[in-house]
Structure 1
Amino acid sequence: MNAVRPPIIVLPGASGHAPDGALFSADAADRDRVVALRYPPWQNHVDAGLSGEALVETLTAEILRRAPQMPVVLVGVSIGGHFAHATALRLESLGHGVAGLCIIDAGTITAARSAQWKARLTSHALDLLRRGRPGALALHARHLAWRGLFRLAGDGLPALARGHAAPLHRIGMIDPTFAEELSMRLRIRMAATWMGSLDDHPAVLRAPTVLLRTRVTTSADSLWRRRCPDLRIIDIPGNHETLFEPKNAAALRTAFLAASVNWTR
C-alpha cells in the first residue's frame, strides 16, 4: 500500500466482486493503493445474526488495521455505497480521517423486486445475446434461476439458511453461483432492514462526496443529498449491469480521477 498518499478502499456491490482496481488508479504504479475489502461469508449473516451495524464495525476495524495512521478514500459500489457511507461516518466519529467518499450507482435498497426488474433483466439478456456472448448469457440464466428460488423463500430465507447451513454450503462448493446468489440475497435483506433505521436520523458526513451514477439510479439522488449536503453528482454511461464494461469503464475512470484529484494526492 502506498506509504504517502491515502489508500483507496473499495467496498464492492452485493455480489462481493470488486471492479478492477485500475479504474481508480492514475497509473500502474498507483495500483497498490487500491484495496478491495471482502464481506463476511453468507454463514455469518445467519450464524451470528449479522446486522448492518455489525458489518460497518467489521469494515471499520479492517480499515483501521490496514491504515491506522492515514486518512482513506472510500469507494462504494451499488450496495457498497451505503456501507461505505456508514463506514465513513463511523471513521469520522472515531477521529480517523476520510479524505473523500465516492459512491457508484447506489440506489435505494429493498428486498422486494423493483418495478422495472423484468425490463432490466430482459434488456441485459438481449444485450448479451446481441453481442454474441452465449457463455455470459448462460451464467446470467443460472444466476436468475437461483435468485428466483431464493426469492420464493421471502422473509424466511435467513431461517432457511440457518436450518440447512451444511447442505447449502456443500451446494455452494459445487456451484459458486449458488453461494454468490445466496450471500447476495441475505446481504440485501439485512441492508434493507438496516437502511430504514439509518435514515430516520441521518448524520451528515464531513468528507467531500461524489456520486457517480447512471440514469437507472437517479431516483436515489434526493436520498444522497440528504446524507451529504455538499454532494457532487456526475452522470456516467451504461446501466447498473454494464457500467464497468470496457465501453463504459473509461468514462467512469475519467470521472473518478477528476472528482477525486484533491483527495488522493
Structure 2
Amino acid sequence: MTVQLFIPCFTDQLFPETAFNTVRILEKVGCNVIYNPQQTCCGQPAYNAGFWDEAKQVGHKFLHDFADDLVIVSPSASCTGMIKNAYNNLFTNTMVHNRCRSIQGNIHELSDFLVNVLKKDYFGAELEGRAVYHDSCSALRECHIRDEPRQLLSNVEGLELVEMKHTDTCCGFGGTFAVKFEAISSAMAEQKVHHALEREADYIISTDSSCLLHLQGYIDKHRLPIKTMHLADVLAHGWANI
C-alpha cells in the first residue's frame, strides 16, 4: 500500500526521530511511504486560539499538500483529530468541501492504521520495563482510539503494560492552555505523573508528542525516575537503526 506521511510541525521541530521511526514501522509492514516536504501545519494552534480565518488559510494549504485518493498516516492523534473533526467547521459547503471529506476519510493516526487497516500488531519491538499508557484527549475523544495502542504495546517483548488511575484525564498541556493557565496545567501534569509512579512505571507512553513534552518537562524539573516515550519510538525500539 502507498501511504502519505503527515508529520505535524510539533514532531518535525522537536521530535524528528519519532517521524523517522514512523517511516521505519510503515516500511517494515510493506508500505511505500510518500512524504511531501512542502507540508506544514494543519492549522490547529490558530483554530484552538479562536483565529478561524487564519486556521482556514493553513488548512486550505494542507488540503492541497496531500492527494485526496491516498491514505494519510500521522503519528499524532491531536492533528489527526483536528482534520477529522474541526475541518467540518472550516470547509463544509465551501469550494473544497468534497476534497476535504475525502481527506478526512483517508487520514489515520498511526496505531489506528496499523491495527484497524493493516491488521498488524507485532513488529519485533523490545523494551524492558513497566509502562503506563496515557490516553490523550484527542486520541480518546476525537479519534476514538483506546484499545489500539494497548494492543500494540502488549506485543512489545519485555514490556509490562499496567493501567494507572484516571488514565483518560487530561495531562494539562492543551496547547495554549499550558501557557495561559500555567499553575493549573502544572498541577494536572503532577497528578498524571504521580499516578504513573504509583504503578512503579518506568515509562509513560502516548500517541501525542505534545502531551509527552509537557509531562517530560515536569519529570525533568523534579528529577523523577520515569521517562516518556512516543508509541512509534516504542514500536521501533530494539530493531530499527536508531
- Tell me whether the two structures share a fold, i.e. TM-score over 0.5: no
Bigger Rg, which one = 1
Choose between structure 1 and 2: higher helix proportion: 1
* TM bucket, shorter chain: 0.3 to 0.5
Q: Larger RCO: Structure 1 or Structure 2 (Cα < 8 Å, ≥ 6 residues apart)?
A: 1
TM-score (norm 2): 0.37
